[in-house]
Amino acid sequence: MEQENRHQLAKTIRSYNRKGWSPATSTNYSFRKSPDIPTFFVSRSGIDKSNFDPNDFIEVDFDAKPTFHFEGARPSAETLIHSVIYELFPKTTVILHSHSVNSVLISEFFDKEVTFEGYEVQKAFAGQSTHDNTIHFPILDNDQDMVAFSKLMRQHEADFKNHCFLIRKHGFYAWGDNLFEAKRHLEAFEYLMEITIQKMQINRSQY
The DSSP line for 137-190 is EEEE---S-HHHHHHHHHHTGGG-TTSEEEETTTEEEEEESSHHHHHHHHHHHH
Residue 146 sits in the site that holds a copy of itself (CB under 8 A): no
The 21-50 site mask, x for binding a copy of itself (CB under 8 A), equals: --xxxx---------------------x-x
CA distance 104 to 117: 20
CB–CB of 40/82 below 8 Å? yes
- The nearer residue to a copy of itself, 77 or 91, going by C-beta atoms, is 77
Minimal distance, residue 8 CB to a copy of itself, in Å: 11
Nearest to 10 by CA among 33, 34, 41: 41
CB–CB of 44/57 below 8 Å? yes
- The nearer residue to a copy of itself, 135 or 167, going by C-beta atoms, is 167
Residue 154 sits in the site that holds a copy of itself (CB under 8 A): no
CB–CB of 110/140 below 8 Å? no
CB–CB of 25/47 below 8 Å? yes
Q: Could you say which of 121, 128, 146, 161 contacts a copy of itself (CB under 8 A)?
A: 121
Q: Hey, which residues between 167 and 196 contact a copy of itself (CB under 8 A)?
A: 167-171, 180, 183-185, 187-188, 190-191, 194-195
- The nearer residue to a copy of itself, 32 or 185, going by C-beta atoms, is 185
Instruction: Tell me which DSSP letter residue 1 carries.
Output: -
Q: Which residues bind a copy of itself (CB under 8 A)?
A: 15, 20, 23-26, 48, 50, 99, 101, 104-105, 108-109, 118-121, 124, 129-132, 142, 144, 167-171, 180, 183-185, 187-188, 190-191, 194-195, 197-204, 207
